[in-house]
Structure 1
Amino acid sequence: MTTTTRDLAGLTARIAELAPGLRVETGPGATGPYAYDASNYRVPPRAVAFPRTAEDVVGVVRACREAGVPVTARGGGTSMAGNAVGRGVVLDFSRYMNRILDIDVPARTARVEAGVVLDALRSATALHGLDFGPDPSSHSRCTLGGMIGNDACGNRSVRDGRTSAHVVALEIVTAGGVRAVADHTGLQPLDPHDGASVARLEADIKRLVGENLALIRTESGRIPRQVSGYQLHRLLPENGFDMARALVGTEGSCAVVTAATVRLVATAQASALLTLGYDDVVAAAEDVPEILRFAPSAVEGMDEAIVATMRARRGPDSVTGLPEGHAWLYVELEGDDQAEVNARAAALLDALEAQGRPTGGRVVESPAERRSLWRVREDGAGLAARLVDGGESWPGWEDAAVAPEHLAAYLRGFRKLLAAHGLTGVLYGHFGAGCVHVRIDFDMATDDGRGVMRQFLTEAAALVVEHGGTLSGEHGDGRARSELLEVMYSHRMIAAFAAFKQVFDPEGLLNPGVVVDPAPLDADLALRELPLVETTFGFPLDEDGFAGAVRRCVGVGRCRSDAGGVMCPSYRATGEENDSTRGRARMLQEMVRGETVTDGWRSTEVRDALDLCLSCKACSSDCPVGVDMATYKAEFLHQHYRGRLRPRSHYSLGWLPTTSALAGYAARPVNALLRGPLGKLLARLGGITTERRIPAFASRRALRNTLRAAKTAEPVKALLFVDSFTRAFRPRVAGAAGRVLADAGIPCAPQEGLCCGLTWVSTGQLGTARRIMARTVTALDNGDSRPIVVAEPSCAAAFKRDVPELLGTEAARRVADRVRTFTGALTDLADEGWTPPPLPESVVLQTHCHEYAAFKGHRPADLLRRLGVHTVDEAEGCCGLAGNFGFEAEHYDTSIAVAGLALTPLLDRLDGRPVVADGFSCATQIDHLTGDQDMRALHLAELLDPAADQPGETT
């Protein structure tokens, strides 16, 4: 046992003594994801602790103080300045300390634990017509503790300002392991026995402030967004010695916040959103002072690179409502009366048009357009990280702020500075508050590139100070800017910051290297030159292949959201960082680096991190940087099990297209066998759960009868690809699809006997998958240019993405271009006057995750509404079965838990409505969940089928 290992064992043993039952994780599989936040830095911790109570935090802090080990508090891990990574013990508050303790409606306050996600608080307070004002773009996953640490602001900071303005009291644990409350009157102990030590701490702070009154008054709190450094002006006599607000923004370097009492604001009753187009961001900034005269709640800006990336990744309709231009402002006006707000919006448009800078402007009326536009802005950090041309950009100077009236001049100088260093920046941010976010194409992998970055950041600091600004306007200084504070503040002020921390943390163990005694800004950078990794998938969009693909994850953490979009179902079910798309990507990054994860493709830690990935592909669409964990997992499984025995389910389920084809020749006896005791034994031997009934195989005769009944007249306009799942388990879908397509003016010829290779991809058997795919592509790429309609969405997605990425041939790309889902065929190819049979007023819909991810703009819900279904209740999320995942014995419980997030609640209130699920997995899960309701899920083709009781419906 090494000294380091022995010391770690001693530390964890001592923590167990002081905090019995506390969960503490060590080892690369647990700590790897916590080496990163959303910044440029990588700092592997020794351990990660998951406190449930403030007493747990006290135990950790005391044990670490005894051992001389640093402590870093962490919320959602979305810090962009390196505020939430540290070498000692990381405290993850988001896992368990995430309770809303009280909402006092008359007082308009809420008391929350540090790990409460902002959106959870907002959802709870919305029931009372209240809200928490600051709203960072990461509101769906950032925690209140993290917002307090950084003094976060958000999109509506013009109205609501910074988090510090909304903090009433903080419950803290000091570096000495003492619990106290910091409020607007000072510090009070939570335990009377700690009264003397807390009183000494308060007295020392008052003495420090008294000795530096003039200094604090002249250098602290000069502009509204001055987040850099410590907020010592909150402690001035004229400000009432507000210790709570002084500790906001200290980034966990002075005390550990365990809970907070925060002030709430009333929800606006009326609002209007204007979008304004400009030639560039400087022109947009010129109009900000005029806009502020109209008392907006938000003035947000962005340039064209973000919009182009959003449209490329999620389809041209993902951004609507913007006027012509190369840069845009969103201006939101709010009030109590809609007529007054509308009049103010009209007056603002008139005033701006009179000044002549906008290229266009409009009030966005559609709620759907408004949601779409805000999502573009909220995903800015991720969208700017990996642009449509494949270029990468990074934070580091993403948070500077000036007074709004100086913004245009600052941006002119900043763009000149970028050009002087040969750098490109993507700009967006809170223009109404003078705070501009920018991601820059730094080259941090080489010594020369790091030298350029250091020189640029030093000159940028001087530039923003020249304009009276601040290095940080809401993200904090962290590791990115703390070294540069000496450019902004005098030596005396820097000494005052150090003295402030010294009083709270004399041994320097709380988040060291941040604000005081800073680490060099170019130390611990995550990016470095890495060797190319040989893979089976081509990763054509990533210059460095697999290494570049997994590097797409920059930590913004959208995959940790509990709602909105589909990713990440396993994280939503377990709440574990390692089960998020981000956690898995970070483990793959660690594997490529080869430092903490040293066994490469053979790593069991990476295998375990990927285990609960459902391969739903939702991240490839929902993740702002396009992480595709399903593909990464397939590649990893292929490499991990190369030349080795695989899990049994890889054989039983991976080879399902082959075994099901054979079963079709003897469907009746095979089905009878599987329904008996021997069937359960075979399931266990194959690694398949016995909690589910194995779907009945269809006979070859049933398939022939179905296709014969669906045969259409010439001229054939498309091919109907009969996939392995449809052929083996529900040939009726092929028949219904053929009839509906013919009825819609798209007569099809069935194409049977080929396979897309999906099951071999999802189980990582890529060599076999490529052989299957090559044979299929050869058969389909025969000079025929007609569309290929695939009724099974997962197979359509495999053709669209996996086939061209695995084969890398022009033939594969030609086939992929021809593929349509059933929904897509009806949307794009149906006769203009086609009318389906009468449809129900209301349906429940489960959209297949692969269809959601790979075929944006062709949603079944939109088609159903267009065809006359009045109400479409769509399950927002994965069904949980996800191909082989939910059939595997070890994943059954997770599969049901995922279904419980969205699908099961809908099924519990069906009220006789039909359920539509085009995916075989989705339909199978629904049938399993509703087994006692005598119903089954319908494919959309069955719902639209102009004929009933067709032959070939039996096995």
Structure 2
Amino acid sequence: MPDIDYGALAQAFRSLLPEEAIVTDPLRTFAYGTDASFYRLNPRIVVIAESEEQVRGVLALCRAQKAPVTFRAAGTSLSGQAVTDSVLVSLGEGFRSFGFEPEGAIARLGPSLIGGDANRLLSPFGRKIGPDPASIATAKIGGIAANNASGMCCGTGQNSYYTLASMRVVLADGAVLDTADPQSVAAFRAGHAALLDGLATIARDAREDAATAERIRHKFRLKNTTGYAINALVDFEDPVDILTHLMIGSEGTLGFLSRIDYQTVPDYRDKASAFIVFADLPSACRAVSALKRTPVEAVELLDRAALESVKSKSGMPIEVDGLGPGAAALLVEARGPDQAALKERIALAQAAIDPATTLNGVRFSHDPVECSRYWDIRKGTFPAVGGKRPPGTTVIIEDVAFPVERLAEATADLQALLHAHGYDKAIIFGHALEGNLHFVFAQGFEDQSEISRYAVFMEALSELVVGKYDGSLKAEHGTGRNMAPFVEREWGMRATRLMRRIKALLDPDSLLNPGVLLNDDPTIHLKNLKPMPKVSALVDSCIECGFCEPQCPSHGLTFSPRQRIVSGRELARLACDDPTSAQATEMKQTFAYAADETCAGCSLCSTVCPLEINTGDFIRSLRAEQAGPLAKKIGGGIGDHFAATLGATRLALAGADIAHKVLGTSAMQAAARVAHEKFSAPLWTPAFPRGIWPKPVSSGWEGEPVLFFESCASRAMGAPRGDDSENLREVATRVFSRAGYRLVTPEGQDELCCGQPFASKGLAETAERKVKELVQKLARHGRKIPVVFDTSPCAARAKSFSGDDYAPLDLVEFLTLHVAPKLDLRPIEGPVALHITCSVRKMGLADILLGLAQKCAQQVIAPADVKCCGFAGDKGFVTPELNDHALRHLRTSLPLECMEGYSTSRTCEIGLASHSGRRYRSILHLLDQATA
């Protein structure tokens, strides 16, 4: 490989892409270059590509420099196929396209669209894509197709290979082929006749070699992602079809998939699940063989160690401690187009298993809550190992496939193999219907003895899977770097030679993701192993899977939670190895903005993290460490004189409103932008609130008392100029009285605060003091009357500090449980927007809030693309780019006729109004209208 001038290459990229799309600084390339595997390579350049033309331009420049290129979608791959030490092309939102043919029979999907989002968009048609990897809520279409990912239900018949309708692909030479467009196909046949002839020759050679052809057909009877999808050589004769199907599972080594068109599959709503426990593994595996002949959707196997790892999970239908050492369980799901069909399929499944061979019978539950608990148990196995692993180790999760008829024997052999190599705490689970087993164990790579142990184990594993059972070394996770040295061992020399001919034909310079899938280095799987230095007990268990990323409001602007943890680990390593280097200093400066300043601290990452890691807490802990004596003193002073602080805030808001009145909107915005950029003043927008002062409000009703606590934002921030909305307390008084409640407020409310503003800035001592002061004050009343918080972030924090004295209620809870049932609701006409705040989601009240809104309005739109709004207390004022980025899809997600929006946080409503062009108010205003 010639020397590559990456500085010149980065400069050349600037002629194609905006500056912000080209990343070369050491911390961001390190963070952006991380994937879910246990390999670490640091890209020299990261390019954020938004269009096919940009990808083609990057490829052309890289060809000129002979610079290797790796494509990255979500980075959830587990085998090292999405890391590089050269140029990483990360897919931006420009590739997040979605289209469909009538009734959703074919879905045309961009490679940057998340698989779960594709299914959500197909849901109205009762359809979904076939692949269903466990990472589908994070994994993107490009990665799903490039790895031929499957999952619990799709088996082999519904994976990307078998449900591919057409494809748009960019080859290494920049040529584009769109097989859905006859003109594109004709032009490609004319311009790339030699390439197609070469593929036809390879396919003919494969078919004419009877032993090789039979070997290919035999190997793909199982799930198999080891090497290329050379079943295309025997399944198709047209070289265009061969080419597109070779792209599936090629891991970015043959071309760039710029659109994938799937034949969708039915998404049956009627389903039921059974969690069946057996005394021994052979009995469970015999049941699998019997179920294979029935129309069940999925059968998941859990060995005894897997059951032990999740024995405390809610919904476990049997006492695990009482099971013998060889016990196992099956989680079975049946689905049907209607209840009658489902009932028939359940009957067939039940008839296939003798209940006498089980410990708890064969009972299918139709209860969605109970079924969800069963699947949570299954999904909890991987995190259970990851969360309990020793510090500094990583998690290895591998997947193999055995013939189903030999599953019991193979599982026992795999258990014995793991124990023989010291992996005593390993667990085994998997998609039993396909003979596909996953095994998970903790592995350290800090010393050579551990690396050697892993190397010996991998050799023994390949001998077991291939030598004894002729199974698949990689069933669904892709070959990557980890299995690249073993491809020939599984396939043999002749089939592997076909793969090498394919690679040489389509990528003659070997610039596309070199080293992945095929590799001449027999020890490549033992190199570039990812260190896992300790950084904080709050995040040390992170396995860098990336499941958190779609929830994060700063992902794509700066860092995601995974990238915050990754960069924190690297800084911790540098602090030990080379703390005063120029690189370490530069990285710290980048971290301050990318990881800290732009973190909303919303903690939505914890709601989807398999280990429930709260990266917001991690960043707040760093802020606490960095808070100096002066900051703590100022924070303490504000806490001690909170009423005065509120008064000053009201005056500042009133002053801004006067300036707005005098200058007009355009001039005010221009002046505010200058003040923000030059002096870091809070950024004013037309949605900026006016200051309001407390005034007594008479309820006019002698009803049951309710203690109503207003957040500091609600107390100080009124509606913006031009909006005549009443203050929240006035609306609450009126609505509560209609339901027979009398609103009261705590004495000295202006001095009270839940502490959230202080906690978010790392001023933990003041934050805790203020919330305890609040709890003590409210508890005096709360023993006798309901205590209701008007704002969800305050309610969530108060709940976390509440004891036995009182149970604070979020406004959503109180309105739903106590107010709305006593009122005559008449839903208002026209669509309304609903924003579900982070706090509502974390408190588990999202569905309750949505249900309340749906009782008050005929149409409620809660945009799926909008999660945390990124306003984050005051960050919408001081770091407005975070709010801008988080709400970039809001305006286009709402129909033009939708002019009103509702939420449960005053500051969130400011940002929402600013970015949508609509008025956003408290959900209480909506209930007021529906009960007027």
Q: What TM-score results when the alignment is normalised by the length of structure 2?
A: 0.78
**Which residue, 475, 478, 491 being the options, matches 1:476?**
478
Judged with a 3 Å threshold, the aligned counterparts in structure 2 of structure 1 residues 692 and 418 are, in CA distance, closer, same or farther, namely: farther
- C-alpha separation between the residues in 2 aligned to 1:240 and 1:659? 78
Of 60-69 and 922-931, deviating more is 922-931
Q: Which aligned pairs between 1:833-848 and structure 2 lie closer than 5 A?
A: 837-838=822-823, 840=825, 842=827
Aligned residue for 2:514?
Answer: 512
> Which whole-Å CA distance do the structure 2 matches of 1:439 and 1:925 have between them?
44
Question: Residue 470 of structure 1 aligns to a residue in which SS?
Answer: coil
Provide the residue aligned with 2:424 in structure 1: 423
Aligned to 2:255: 256
Pick the aligned partner of 1:582 from 562, 573, 577.
Answer: 562
- For residues 235 and 16 of structure 1, the distance between their equivalents in structure 2, rounded to whole angstroms, comes to 41
The 8 Å contact of residues 591 and 598 in structure 1, kept in 2 or not, is answered as: yes
**1:391 to 1:254, Cα distance in 2 relative to 1, 3 A:** closer
Structure 1 residues 750-805: Cα deviation after superposition (integer angstroms, max 9, x where no partner):
685444432122234456546656877899999x999995614323434566xxxx
Give the 3 Å change call, closer, same or farther, for CA 497–79 of structure 1 in structure 2. same
Shift of 1:345: 0.9
Taking structure 1 as reference, are residues 754 and 426 closer, same or farther at Cα in structure 2, changes over 3 Å only?
Answer: farther
Q: CA deviation at 1:929?
A: 8.2
Letter aligned with residue 683 of structure 2: T
How many residues align? The count is 880
After superposition, give the CA deviation of every residue in 1:456-477 in whole Å (9 maximum; x if it has no partner). 3332333322233111111111
Q: 2: CA distance between counterparts of 1:602 and 1:553?
A: 23
| Per-residue deviation, residues 601-632 of structure 1 (Å, max 9, x unmatched) | 84224513554433222222233332323223
Which residue number corresponds to residue 325 of structure 2?
A: none
CA distance in 1, matches of 2:82, 2:543: 17
Instruction: Report the CA distance between 1:850 and its aligned residue.
Output: 4.8
Change (3 A) 1:569 1:667: closer
- 2-side partners of 1:678 and 1:829: how far apart? 38
Q: Measure, in 2, the Cα distance between the counterparts of 1:734 and 1:658.
A: 30
Report the Cα offset of residue 39 of structure 1: 1.4
2:192 and 2:587 mapped to 1: Cα distance? 55
Report the aligned-residue RMSD. 5.3
Quickly say closer, same or farther: Cα 1:597–1:617, change in 2 above 3 A: farther
> Among residues 897, 902, 924, which one is paired with 2:887 in the alignment?
897
One-letter amino acid of the counterpart of residue 851, structure 1: S
1:850/1:734 CA distance change after superposition, 3 Å = farther
In the other structure, the counterpart of 1:157 is 154
User: Secondary structure in 2 aligned to 1:157?
Assistant: coil
Amino acid at match of 1:662: A
Matched position secondary structure for 1:273: strand
What is aligned with 1:521? Answer: 525
| Selected match of 1:937 from 912, 918, 922 | 922
Q: Cα offset for 1:893?
A: 5.8
Give the counterpart of 1:591 among 571, 586, 597: 571
Alpha carbons of 1:172 and 1:158: their partners in 2 closer, same or farther (altered >3 Å)? closer
Output the CA distance in 1 between the equivalents of 2:464 and 2:431: 19
Q: 2:809 aligns with which of 807, 822, 825?
A: 822
One-letter amino acid matched to 1:50? I
Displacement, 1:31?
A: 2.2
Match of 2:602 in 1: 616
C-alpha contact 1:299 1:330 (8 A) present in aligned 2? yes
Please report how far the alpha carbon of residue 731 of structure 1 lies from its aligned counterpart in structure 2 after TM superposition: 8.6
Tell me, in whole angstroms, the C-alpha distance in 1 between the residues paired with 2:417 and 2:587: 43
Residue matched to 2:664: none
On the 8 A contact 1:610/1:633 being kept in 2, the answer is yes
1:758: which partner in 2? 756
Give CA deviations for 1:85-130 in whole Å, capped at 9, x if unaligned. 1111122235323334x64559954554444443454455556665
Looking at structure 2, the residues matched to 439 and 396 of structure 1 have their Cα atoms a distance apart, in angstroms, of 6
Aligned residue identity for 1:921:
T
Question: Residue 687 of structure 1 contacts residue 888 of structure 1 at CA under 8 Å; is this kept in 2?
Answer: yes
Partner of 1:953: none
- 2:401 corresponding residue in structure 1: 401
Match of 2:436 in 1: 435
Cα deviations across residues 206-255 of structure 1 (Å, max 9, x unaligned)? 57637855245336642321221223343148877652365145533641
In the TM superposition, 1:643-722 aligns within 5 A as 661-662=643-644, 672-677=654-659, 687-692=681-686, 695=689, 699=693, 702=695
Deviation at 1:707, TM superposition (A): 12
- Does 2:628 correspond to 1:626? no
Q: Tell me, which stretches of 5 or more residues in structure 1 are unaligned? A: 534-543, 561-566, 802-812, 949-955
Give the unaligned 5+ runs of structure 2. 321-327, 662-667, 718-726
- Decide whether the 8 Å contact of 1:296 with 1:333 is kept in 2: yes
* Residues 150 and 249 in structure 1, CA contact (< 8 A), matched pair in contact too: yes
In structure 1, the residue matched to 2:139 is 142
CA 1:442 to 1:687, structure 2 compared with 1: closer, same or farther past 3 Å? Answer: same
1:789 and 1:820 in contact (8 A); partners too: yes
Contact 2:687 2:910 in 1 (8 A): no
Please give the alpha-carbon distance, in whole angstroms, between the structure 1 residues aligned to 2:191 and 2:389.
Answer: 59
Query: In the superposition, relative to structure 1, how do residues 854 and 230 fare at CA in structure 2: closer, same or farther (>3 Å)?
Result: closer
State the match for 1:921 in structure 2.
Answer: 907
Which whole-Å CA distance do the structure 1 matches of 2:630 and 2:787 have between them? 37
SS at match of 1:479: coil
Which residue is equivalent to 2:86?
88
My pick for the range that moved more, 679-688 or 448-457, is 679-688
> 2:246 — aligned with what?
247
Contact 1:619 1:628 in 2 (8 A): yes
Deviation at 1:478, TM superposition (A): 0.7
Could you say what secondary structure the match of 2:64 adopts?
helix
Could you tell me how far apart the structure 2 residues matched to 1:851 and 1:20 are?
36
Quote how far apart the aligned CAs of 1:146 are. Answer: 1.7
Q: Offset of 1:259 from its aligned partner?
A: 3.8
Deviations 1:343-391 (A, max 9, x none): 22123224324453262444343456656766776x6587446448999
Alignment check: 8 A CA contact 1:226 1:401 kept? yes
Identity %: 22
User: Could you list the per-position Cα deviations for residues 183-208 of structure 1 after superposition, in whole angstroms to 9, with x for gaps in the alignment?
Assistant: 9x9x9785577435425643663576
Would the aligned equivalents of 2:606 and 2:615 in 1 still touch at CA under 8 Å? yes
Counterpart of 2:552?
568
Contact 1:221 1:233 in 2 (8 A): no
Aligned to 2:215: 218
**Which position in structure 1 is the counterpart of 2:729?**
732
| Separation in structure 2 between the aligned mates of residue 907 and residue 18 of structure 1, nearest angstrom | 39
Secondary structure in 1 matching 2:524 = coil
CA contact (8 A) 1:48 1:90 kept: yes
Distance 1:164 1:11 in 2: 36
Range moving further from structure 2, 482-491 or 388-397: 388-397
Q: For the structure 1 residues 768 and 110, does the alpha-carbon distance in structure 2 shift closer, same or farther, using more than 3 Å as the test?
A: closer
CA distance in 2, matches of 1:10, 1:239: 44
Say yes or no: does 1:882 pair with 2:881: no
The yes-or-no answer on 1:300 pairing with 2:282 is no
SS at match of 2:215: helix
Partner of 2:6: 8
Q: 1:762 to 1:655 in 2, by over 3 A?
A: farther
For the 8 Å contact 2:601–2:615, the answer to whether it is kept is yes
8 Å CA contact retained: 1:823, 1:858: no
Given the superposition, is the C-alpha separation of residues 190 and 370 from structure 1 closer, same or farther in structure 2, using an over 3 Å criterion? Answer: farther
Of residues 50-59 and 893-902 in structure 1, the stretch that sits farther from structure 2 once superposed is 893-902
**Alpha-carbon distance change, 799 to 524 in structure 1, aligned in 2, over 3 angstroms:** farther
Range with bigger deviation, 586-595 or 627-636:
586-595
Q: SS where residue 584 of structure 2 aligns? A: coil
Q: Could you tell me how far apart the structure 1 residues matched to 2:813 and 2:11 are?
A: 63
In the alignment, the residues of structure 2 paired with residue 848 and residue 77 of structure 1 have an alpha-carbon distance, to the nearest angstrom, of 28
Q: Distance in 1 between matches of 2:926 and 2:124?
A: 41
TM, length-normalised to structure 1: 0.76
Check conservation: 1:81, 1:478, Cα contact below 8 A.
Answer: yes
State the shift of 1:677 in Å.
Answer: 1.8
Deviations 1:383-413 (A, max 9, x none): 4464489999855442211122222322222
